[in-house]
Amino acid sequence: MFTPQTKISMAKALLTKNSPFYIQFYVSNVCYLRCKMCNIVEANTGLEPFGTEDIERIADNLVKIGAGVILLTGGEPFMRKDIEEIVRIFKLKNLDVRLQTAGLYSRREKIAKCVEYGARDINVSIDSLDEQLSDYINGAEGSWKNAIKTISFISNVFPKKDSICALGCVLSKYNIDEIEAVLDFATRIGWWLSLVPVHITTPDSPMNFRGYDEYFKFTEEDFPKVKGLIERLKRKKREGFMLFDSDDYLDSIYHFISTGHPNWRHRQVCDSPNLYFAILPDGRFAPCCDFKFNENLYVYDRDFPKIYKSREFRDKVMKITQQCPGCNFGSYPEMTLSARSFSTIRERISLQLKAQSTGLKTLGEDEIFNIILNIKKEYDVYKEEGAFRFRENKKWPNAKNIPQQLWNEKQ
């Protein structure tokens, strides 16, 4: 499933703990959603996106430093006109590409083109099976149906073998009672579910990715419910439910929610830039999604590989990571755990083997909507007498109407 380039990068990471086998690339700084727990678009406002002419130089430099998997995210990556060209060039350089999208159905031709150029890994954001709640969280009316239709389209264009399709779900106080239903949904359609606990900060301590809406945060009285959920999820995974997250990562979710700090980091410091880092929409290096580097170091610069490998550069990044309180975003913890935890390494190998043997299901839109309808009949959270008590007084006041052309199926 992985290219030789990625396999070498992963093996080196396992042995040396010094191989950047996972890169988050924020290829777009625009998005058609206004998710209430995300601030990345606002944080990257004003950055001039890198040009198509820079793609090959970026890819070459990533190969030179030993990169493996490149997550193409945003904003919304499919709002870039050249997203398929990015995929094409990266795949030609033997880099593995992972796509992350909120599900922009009007850009389905670009999704298909990315598959033609070799994309085999995609993540679609879904935080709820309830349309009204999902649109509220996303800040965009119609976004939920758009995502579900995109999931159906992906199931029809991605190869049946050697594809990893996943749902990305942000665990918050709004949807904690739905998580098991979302996992059930993922499993029934043959996709994986990946969880990220909500990250909320305050205006006096801004971080690039984290939102400010404190209604999403868990309070101390919620901790037992979170703990119980984590234990049930681990049990369901052993029963065959398609949960992407390792047990170590799931335990860190609870630790992060209950203490404000994760427990996955090595000596309380993450492994950036040794195992992973981020690239901003203008092509600049960043230690991660939350912090920017103090200097303008562009990944497409000729000297980037040399600078990246220098001791002086590593020391500068270390000053940033040492001051970070820690995150539990899925990408970074799982990468550290994959290089440092034997149990997580074992789980990752098992997941890859299962993904190769299971195969992707081809599902029509009506089939998926019917699956959701049947699941909602089985879970109390969707029954009128018990539905969404925490948010029963909310009228979804900030859901915005999105320009019709973004939803236009003929675009």
Residue 404: how many CB atoms within 10 A of its CB? Answer: 10
Task: Give the pair of three-digit tokens for residue 263.
Answer: 């427990």
Report the C-alpha gap between 376 and 366 in whole angstroms: 15
Residues 184-237: tens digit of each pLDDT: 999 999 999 999 999 999 988 999 999 999 999 999 999 999 999 999 999 999
> Contact at 8 Å (CB) between 240 and 256?
no
Q: How far apart are the first and last CA of the chain?
A: 32
- The sign of the dihedral angle between the CA atoms of 344, 348, 353, 357 is positive
The pLDDT of residue 395 is above 90: no
Residues 2-55: tens digit of each pLDDT: 889 998 999 999 999 999 999 999 999 999 999 999 999 999 988 999 999 999
Range with the lowest mean pLDDT among 72-86, 146-160, 269-283, 346-360? 346-360
Positions of E strands within 75-203 = 96-101, 121-125, 140-141, 164-171, 192-197
Q: What is the pTM of this model?
A: 0.93
Number of domains in the chain: 1
Task: Give the pair of three-digit tokens for residue 65.
Answer: 């430093």
Instruction: Give the Å distances, CA to CA, from 380 to 107, 129, 181, 386, 395.
Output: 35, 13, 10, 7, 21
What CATH number is associated with residue 375?
A: 3.20.20.70
Range of the domain at 25: 4-407
The pLDDT of residue 301 is above 60: yes
Report the C-alpha gap between 175 and 180 in whole angstroms: 10
More confident residue, 407 or 330: 330
Under the banding of pLDDT at 50, 70 and 90, the label for residue 409 is: very low
What average pLDDT does this structure show over 295-312? 98
Residue whose entry in the numeric block shows the structure tokens 């000729």: 302
Confidence at residue 396, expressed as pLDDT on a 0 to 100 scale: 43
Task: Give the pair of three-digit tokens for residue 146.
Answer: 């758009």
